[in-house]
Copies of this chain bind each other. A is one copy, B any other.
């Protein structure tokens, strides 16, 4: 749209109806939005294929519904994260073709099929059963973003053989998401075994000196293994988003 404004101005200059000084002044005072459209468009197009994502926590069902409706109109796929059971049921009622996943607390409504587009597998590993909700948030998000996802759950470092048994899955993944609470040692061990980027997700699982996941977070940031980067506590979505960007062709 902005191109139109600029073009008209340039035509007026060419036709001599607007002097160069005046044109210069008008260019200077054009709102920023008129000049920077390129950024916006490019940006959006690069993200093409990713669904729009709604952070469901702290929003009412009514608010979420309104946003979903608006996005569906534009033909977007829509992913809601952090939607508890009650919200999930109400969203399902409102958008029956949507899919609610209780374990992941996600609700996904498609306008079009998700195209599998990644370079390889996104492997989601988690340490304990209590970490599964965060791991599932990551796994579902990654799937909705077009990745082939493999899950490897309940392979905590206290029973290291369970993890080592899964050599094939570890070795063939293109990106790994390692979800763990408590001491958060899983990403260190995993990154020592593979040669691909590991995204560490600390969870708030733990008590006492766990400090709501802060201990886990800090421990992961101090990993003795190279190849790890970290996202916020319980941020399965964020890890999947990074993994999807990495995994894009």
Which residue of B is nearest A164, CB measured?
B32
A227 and B209 within 8 A (CB): no
Contact A223 B58 (CB under 8 A): no
Report the count of interface residues on A (CB-CB < 8 A).
103
Report how far A217 CA is from B42 CA in the complex, Å.
30
The answer on a CB contact under 8 Å between A233 and B219 is no
When distances are taken between beta carbons in the complex, the residues of chain B under 8 Å from A184 are 183, 185, 219, 222
Binds B, one of A69-77, A83-91, A99-107, A188-196: A188-196
Q: How far is the CA of A211 from the CA of B222 in the complex (A)?
A: 10
Provided the pairs A189-B157, A233-B209 are in contact, do residues A33 and B221 lie with their beta carbons within 8 angstroms?
no
Question: Nearest residue in B to A156 (C-beta to C-beta)?
Answer: B224
Beyond the given pairs A28-B37, A157-B192, A183-B222, 14 more chain A to chain B contacts, judged by CB atoms under 8 angstroms and listed by A's residue number, are: A3-B24, A38-B167, A43-B193, A43-B195, A158-B191, A158-B226, A185-B189, A197-B246, A215-B219, A216-B219, A217-B221, A222-B232, A228-B242, A246-B246
Q: Residues of A with Cβ closer than 8 Å to B?
A: 3, 6-7, 10-11, 13-14, 16, 19-21, 23-24, 27-29, 31-33, 35-40, 42-43, 46-47, 53, 57-58, 127-128, 130, 156-162, 164-168, 171, 181-185, 188-189, 191-197, 199, 202, 204-235, 237-239, 241-242, 245-246
